[in-house]
A and B are shown apart, each in its own frame.
Chain A
Amino acid sequence: MHIPDAFIPIPQGVIYWIIALVFVALALRWAKNEMSEEKIPLIAVLAAGIFALQSFNLPVSMGTSGHLVGGALAAIVLGSPFAAVFILTLVLIVQGVLFGDGGITTMGANILNMGVLGGFVGFYSFKGMMGITKNMNISIFTAAWLACFIPALAAAVEMFFAGTFPLIEGLIAMGVYHALIGIIEGLVTVIAIRLIIKARPDIVDIRDPPMKGVNV
């Protein structure tokens, strides 16, 4: 759901950029407070993995394909929605500047959708689902599915404001496609977190609910 430059008028793009920068600043503060020397390369590896997985489009029928976004993955593994904002922002910079995957003036909107919304929806629905089901796989899958579906609806609304999609048609199509793409998001996120826990249980920040205050 990388929005290209041609889909949003510049003034609207600037507004999304300004809102996104507030969250990027908070994400930098998270990085400054939470980082330890040994954790740094591990987070960089996670970013490399998310970049690679984002390039792997899988067919979801109806002539459409989709790939993992990784907001829920980053937020759940590192125990903060700001981890998703941090990693997705840098991944989106590489994609937009180097590969034209997502625009420059629309990068703020993309950061808001995939990093901020993806991270917050993924993180808090994971916490909520863990409290209800106590089942990690179900909680991760649901959180990752929502972290794909909700940002897609947000993108449809942004496309409506931009005059690019009509509201209802856009919401239906974006909703239907990302309900399917969300299954990829859910499955890949479950597998990735399981593998990371197996390799390095110490870096995965999944605390038993109810969790204490979120460290920003």
Chain B
Amino acid sequence: MNNKTFIIAGIIIALLIGVLAVFFASGNPDGLESTALIVQGQKTLTGDTPPNAEVHEDPTGKFSYSSPMTNYSLGENIGPLGGIIAIVAGTLLAFLLVLGVLKLTTLIKSRKAKSNQ
């Protein structure tokens, strides 16, 4: 498989996984959130998570930041389409960010090599 095919196939697979995740990913809390729910008395170790369980966050002395697409969503009104847009944007951005930083590091390297000649 040449580079071009690998890149295109890779990105398509990544986007496909991401879009499927919007519809089929589990809504249960992750391991860290589940542990927080236990500590906060809303859940037992082996028991199910109650539907109204929510991790309480104490913001005193902590930093607070509101991201543009919290929870991989563009809000309730747009629904799954917002989720798809968010995932596609994130996947492509991860690709471009890694591409950009790597290009930059090799550029710096070749500049240095030239100036050392």
Contact = CB atoms under 8 A, between A and B. Distances in A.
Interface of A: 1-10, 13, 28, 31-33, 35-38, 40-53, 55-59, 62-67, 86-87, 90-91, 93-101, 103-105, 152, 155-156, 159, 164-166, 169-170, 172-174, 176-178, 181, 199-200
8 contacts: A42-B3, A42-B6, A56-B18, A62-B47, A100-B66, A100-B67, A173-B35, A181-B30
A105 B62 CA distance: 8
Interface residues of B, number: 70
B10 to A, nearest CB: 4
Contacts, number: 234
B20 interface: yes
A47 B72 CA distance: 17
B105 A55 contact: no
Nearest to A97: B67
A96 B67 contact: yes
B91 A52 contact: yes
Main secondary structure of the interface of B (DSSP, over half): helix
A113 to B, nearest CB: 10
Contact of B39 (A36, A53, A67, A165): A165
A28 B17 CA distance: 28
Given A37-B106, A99-B67, A170-B35, A63 B96 contact: no
Nearest to A9: B61
Contacts of B25: 55-58, 65, 67
Given A32-B106, A45-B7, A177 B34 contact: yes
A51 B6 CA distance: 17
Contacts of B7: 41-42, 44-45
Given A44-B96, A98-B90, A101-B72, A173 B38 contact: yes
